[in-house]
Structure 1
Amino acid sequence: MKLSDYRIEPADYKADFKDLRAVRDSVFIIEQHLPADLEQDGKDPHSHHVIARDNHHNPVGTGRLTPEGQIGRIAVLHQWRNQGVGQSLLRVLIEKAQKQGLNQITLETPASASGFFQKFGFIGEGEAFNVAGNEFQRMSMTLTPLAERRRQSAKPRETSVPAEKLDNLEAHLESAIRLITEARRQICIYTRDLEHGLYGHNDVVEAFRQFAINSRDGCVQIIVQDTFAARGKPHALIDLAQRLPSSFQLRTPVEREDQQYSSAFLINDRDGYLFRLNAERYQGEWSPNHPARKKQLYEEFDRIWQRCRPCTEFRALGI
Structure 2
Amino acid sequence: MAGSGFQVAVVPYPAQHAALHRVRQAVFVQEQLVPAELEADALDSTSVHVLASDAHGQPIGAGRLTPDGRIGRMAVLAPWRGRGVGEALLLALVEAARAAGRAEVSLHAQLPARVFYTRQGFLPQGAVFEEAGIAHQGMRRVLAGAVNIATAEQALAITTAVVHRARRRLWIHSHQLDPGLLDAAPVLEALRRFGSARHPKQAWLIVHDARAIARAGSPLLGLLQRLPSVFRLRQVSDPVDQALASACLLNDAGDYYFRLGGHRFDGEAGLALPARSRPLQDGLQRVWERSRECGELRAIGL
TM-score interval, normalised by the smaller of the two chains? 0.5 to 0.7
1:234 aligns with 2:226: no
Structure 1 residues 251 and 188: CA distance shift in structure 2, 3 A: same
Cα distance, 1:162 vs structure 2: 1.1
Instruction: Give the SS at the match of 2:299.
Output: helix
Pairing partner for 1:306 from 264, 279, 289: 289
Cα distance, 1:228 vs structure 2: 2.2
Cα distance, 1:150 vs structure 2: 8.4
Is contact 1:190-1:266 (8 Å) kept? yes
Q: Which amino acid aligns with 1:293?
A: R
Structure-1 separation of matches of 2:188 and 2:274: 25
Instruction: Give the SS at the match of 1:187.
Output: strand
Which residue pairs with 1:223 in the alignment?
Answer: 206
Structure-2 separation of matches of 1:187 and 1:215: 16
Structure 1 residues 215 and 270: CA distance shift in structure 2, 3 A: farther
Q: Which runs of 4+ in 1 moved over 2 A?
A: 149-161
Instruction: Give the SS at the match of 1:261.
Output: coil
Which residue pairs with 1:163 in the alignment?
Answer: 146
Structure 1 residues 303 and 265: CA distance shift in structure 2, 3 A: same
Q: Which amino acid aligns with 2:272?
A: N
Instruction: Give the SS at the match of 1:196.
Output: coil
Cα RMSD after superposing both structures: 2.4
Pairing partner for 2:161 from 178, 186, 193: 178
1:281 aligns with 2:280: no
Cα distance, 1:235 vs structure 2: 1.1
1:244 aligns with 2:248: no
Structure-1 separation of matches of 2:278 and 2:205: 17
Is contact 2:211-2:297 (8 Å) kept? no
Query: What whole-Å deviation, never above 9, does each CA across 1:100-157 have from its counterpart, x for those lacking one?
Result: xxxxxxxxxxxxxxxxxxxxxxxxxxxxxxxxxxxxxxxxxxxxxxxxx989899899
Superposed, which structure 2 residues align to 1:243-282 within 5 Å?
A: 243-282=226-265
Any gaps of 5 or more consecutive residues in structure 2? 1-82, 100-142
Cα distance, 1:211 vs structure 2: 0.8
TM-score (norm 2): 0.53
Superposed, which structure 2 residues align to 1:1-319 within 5 Å?
A: 161-214=144-197, 216-319=199-302
Instruction: Give the SS at the match of 1:246.
Output: coil
Instruction: Give the SS at the match of 2:215.
Output: coil
Higher relative contact order (CA 8 A, sep 6+): 1
Q: Which amino acid aligns with 2:156?
A: L
Q: Which amino acid aligns with 2:184?
A: H
Is contact 1:185-1:215 (8 Å) kept? no
Structure-2 separation of matches of 1:169 and 1:215: 32
Cα distance, 1:288 vs structure 2: 1.3
How many residues align? The count is 171
Q: Which amino acid aligns with 1:233?
A: A
Is contact 1:180-1:211 (8 Å) kept? yes
Structure-2 separation of matches of 1:287 and 1:198: 18
Cα distance, 1:215 vs structure 2: 5.0
Q: Which amino acid aligns with 1:254?
A: S
TM-score (norm 1): 0.50
Cα distance, 1:189 vs structure 2: 0.6
Is contact 1:195-1:230 (8 Å) kept? no
Identity over the aligned pairs, expressed in percent? Answer: 33
Any gaps of 5 or more consecutive residues in structure 1? 1-148
